[in-house]
């Protein structure tokens, strides 16, 4: 919780990651102020996260990597569970890409 204490002590807190910007508000923080929990998977669905045009390359690459991994294992026997999990990640990541593109008017891929 030191992470949260440091942020709160500084007043209004803005954290910048390669994947997004956090406007920290403790009551809606999915990480609960724990730096160990901060990352793509946690911040992706956090109300405090803002993803802007500057983060588009990150999300495009993440989406492309997930698609490539899914495609590479799709023909492996008994990989249905892993493929389904990767499909979910692809959907999440490409959803962020679409939202950023929609907000910025950027339709290039």
Q: Which is nearer to ligand SF4, 38 or 86 (CB)?
A: 38
Size of the site for ligand SF4 (CB under 6 A): 12
- The correct pick among 40, 43, 62, 100 for binding ligand SF4 (CB under 6 A) is 43
Q: CB within 8 A of 94, min separation 6: which ones?
A: 63
With beta carbons less than 8 A apart as the criterion, state whether 20 and 65 touch. Answer: no
- 8, 19, 30, 79: residue in contact with ligand SF4 (rule CB under 6 A): 30
User: Would you count residue 48 as binding ligand SF4 (CB under 6 A)?
Assistant: yes
Residue in 31, 56, 90, 97 binding ligand SF4, rule: CB under 6 A: 31
Query: Judged by CB, which is closer to ligand SF4: 24, or 58?
Result: 24
DSSP assignment of 16-62 equals EETTEEEE--GGG-TTTT-GGG-SHHHHTT-TTEE--GGGHHHHHHH
């Amino acid at each position: 919780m030191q992470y949260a204490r440091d942020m709160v002590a500084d007043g209004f807190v803005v954290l910048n990651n390669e994947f997004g910007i956090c406007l920290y508000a403790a009551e809606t923080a999915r990480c609960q102020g724990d730096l160990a929990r901060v990352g793509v998977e946690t911040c992706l669905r956090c109300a405090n996260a803002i993803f802007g045009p500057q983060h588009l390359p990150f999300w495009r690459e993440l989406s492309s990597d997930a698609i490539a991994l899914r495609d590479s294992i799709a023909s492996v026997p008994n990989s249905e569970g892993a493929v389904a999990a990767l499909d979910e990640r692809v959907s999440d990541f490409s959803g962020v890409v679409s939202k950023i593109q929609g907000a910025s008017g950027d339709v290039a891929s």
